[in-house]
Structure 1
Amino acid sequence: MTGRTPTAAADGAGTGHQPAPALRRALRGYLDHLTVERGLAANTLVAYRRDLDRYLNSLAAAGVSDLAAVPAGEIERHLARLRAGDDGHPPLAASSAARAASAVRGLHRFALREGLAAADPSRDVRPPTPPRRLPRALSLDDVVRLLDAAGPVQAAGDTAPLALRDRALLEFLYGTGARISETVGLAVDDVDLTDAVVQLRGKGGRDRLVPIGGYAMQALGAYLVRARPGLVAAGRGTPRVFLNSRGGPLTRQGAWMILRRAAERAALPVDGPQAVSPHTLRHSYATHLLDGGADVRVVQELLGHASVTTTQVYTLVTVDRLREVYATAHPRARD
């Protein structure tokens, strides 16, 4: 994770300034810290590296060669340029700029702890606040149409293995609220069909046991018994539950395409802001649980959220639903 990325090289070439060795050493140390001690996910590390390479190039262009000499004003100017766009880079959305600000602040906190700087100039720099977006959740009728479009639970014929897999995959996503990464990483030993529970291996090494509903159990059982053995025979014997047509582990992209095809057949949106995605099923799972009366802290545990604050955004969706029902059902709700 410490090699120079193509993006970083291009950024440096674009500015005509190369970060000083002291800046590069500090960045390598910080990324090593995130990898070894914090255990950040690979995708997060890639994003942090890209953000921080751009930051170091910005410092180099400003003539700053050491983190100990960075003024707070330079950090603010860098973040403002991210939002406005510069040097061939399009403007960053508030959420991406907030992530970049978090990476920059983390680097400066690390430099202070490691004695690379006597102060943290980023301490009072406030990142932009991303606009709060309510999760998109499907109605129960739309979920049923989507699942039915994936394929029958008891498929037959030459296409049965993949039809059974597709139905089991989508039933599992909606029936457990699992993240797509947790689903494609699922091993056979993680599934207990006897007790109807699954062990999901979540972010930051936080594992959790989640019950599997009856519909998902039926679809998953049919796939594991009638389809997966044939797929395994075509491959190299991976322990993963969900396999591709060659018997190898199903990828995130492969799972997304299965969902996209089912959404198209169900006449649900596959493009634009309302497009159905694997995360849509997770949102729907949480929203439908809360609509059904589940306690928010139980939903937090099922989703694997570290903080209940993350889960509480779903309660806003539920309140909107309550308002909608009230407005249409109560005789004196409207003038």
Structure 2
Amino acid sequence: MRHGLRRLTGIKVITKKNGKRYIYRRVGTALHPLPDLPENHPEFLAAYAAAGTAPTRPRTRAAAGSIAELIERYLASSDYARMAPSSRAVWRRTLERIREKAGDALLRDLRPDHLRRDIRKLTHGAAANRLKAWRSILRFALDEGMIAADPSAGLRKPRGEVTPHRQWTPAEIEAYRDHWQPGTAERTAMEVIYWTGARCVDAARLGWQMVDSGGWLSYTQAKTHSPATCPVRTLPAWAQRMAQDHTHFRAALPGDRLQWIVTRSGKPRSVKGLSQWLSRAATAAGLPDDCTAHGLRKARASALAEAGATASQIGAWTGHQSLSEIAHYTRAADQKGILGAEQEQNTGNRVEKFPI
């Protein structure tokens, strides 16, 4: 007697208008994201099994109609599950703070002045994040019919300045290289992040397995789910002004393993651990405390601008999706370098690997 294959249960698939699919396993009231792969793929089965063993949240004890109930329903929703893991962690911490402070209050009694008072004493960055969190859960409440009107509608973002991650200067990059010689793990990590412009969440997993036969590194970003591509083995004609950085990058890459950034024992570094470890390495090299991994990402965007890259080329390399983002990260670029750079786009130069 033949037995058919058992189909996996609890699978939920959401397909957006642009064709992008999001796949989840429902365990109780929670949705756990799964990779967009065939159900018989080993990675899909592993993720499916892991979701089944994930700790489940206890059944809600929040009062019906309370802000705490809204937060619990939001954390179990597909809206929350669709976020990148790093974003979910930040969002959960923010929502937990809201629940600790106002969870017992009834949602129907929430007014705009309550929200203003909640964010008024926070720093600018914390206030902006708190307001984003309020808007997300209140939009969810509106869609779910829990409220008839959104009390966050019309609220303005708090005024003030956000101190961005500072871009590394060329002198700081050279000082780091002088301190950490080729062959050290610290040098490899810096060169990989600086050359690729990848966020730590992506840099931690980059390696030869992502380099194609043409010598191009291509990967999907964890935060935005959008692609990023940069040359590894050879440079396109327009990027020759970055040849020295490319030489440093190639010299730092390991030839005895697939993954580039690992611990001394050869294990992959955690995302948070990588960021903090690189900051400590910069401090050990005598650099200021604000020399961070994200500052290297900004330095690469600036170097691309000074090399004469088009906005499309910068975006394809670093993975930024909008012109406003690119402008933000290249604002500190050397204006003389930009004006003096060879503008390949005026000569009709195109690189097929980059989207137009």
Q: Which one is further off, 198-207 or 254-263?
A: 254-263
Q: Which of the numbers 80, 98, 108 marks the counterpart of 1:55?
A: 98
Q: Which of the numbers 252, 267, 280 marks the counterpart of 2:286?
A: 267
Cα deviation 1:180-199 (Å, max 9, x = unaligned): 1111122541134x533212
Q: Paired residue for 1:104? A: 134
Query: Does the 8 Å contact 2:124/2:159 carry over to 1?
Result: yes
Distance 1:254 1:58, change over 3 A: closer
Q: Paired residue for 2:322? A: 307
User: Which has a greater percent of strand?
Assistant: 2
1:142 aligns with 2:162: no
Q: Equivalent residues in 2 for 1:82-161 (5 A)? A: 83=121, 92-133=122-163, 135-152=165-182, 155=183
C-alpha separation between the residues in 1 aligned to 2:273 and 2:129? 27
Distance 1:196 1:170, change over 3 A: farther
Query: Does the 8 Å contact 2:301/2:330 carry over to 1?
Result: no
Query: Does the 8 Å contact 1:150/1:259 carry over to 2?
Result: no
Deviation of the 1:304 alpha carbon: 1.2
Query: Does the 8 Å contact 1:179/1:282 carry over to 2?
Result: yes
Deviation of the 1:73 alpha carbon: 2.0
- TM-score (normalizing by structure 2): 0.65
C-alpha separation between the residues in 2 aligned to 1:182 and 1:172? 11
C-alpha separation between the residues in 2 aligned to 1:324 and 1:195? 30
Aligned-partner residue type, residue 226 of structure 2: R
C-alpha separation between the residues in 1 aligned to 2:252 and 2:103? 57
1:286 aligns with 2:317: no
Number of positions where the alignment pairs a residue of Structure 1 with one of Structure 2: 268
- TM-score (normalizing by structure 1): 0.69
Deviation of the 1:168 alpha carbon: 2.4
1:199 aligns with 2:215: no
Cα deviation 1:215-274 (Å, max 9, x = unaligned): 312321xx123xx4xxxxxxxxxx6442212222122355346534543454322x2xxx
Q: Paired residue for 1:250? A: 269
Q: Paired residue for 1:79? A: 119
Q: Which one is further off, 131-140 or 176-185?
A: 131-140
Distance 1:75 1:265, change over 3 A: closer
Deviation of the 1:282 alpha carbon: 0.9
User: Aligned to 2:218, what secondary structure does the other structure show?
Assistant: strand
1:20 aligns with 2:60: no
Deviation of the 1:123 alpha carbon: 0.6
**Identical amino acids, percent of aligned pairs:** 26
Distance 1:216 1:107, change over 3 A: same
Unmatched 5+ stretches in structure 1: 5-17, 84-91, 156-162, 229-238, 327-335
1:211 aligns with 2:231: yes
Q: Paired residue for 1:7? A: none
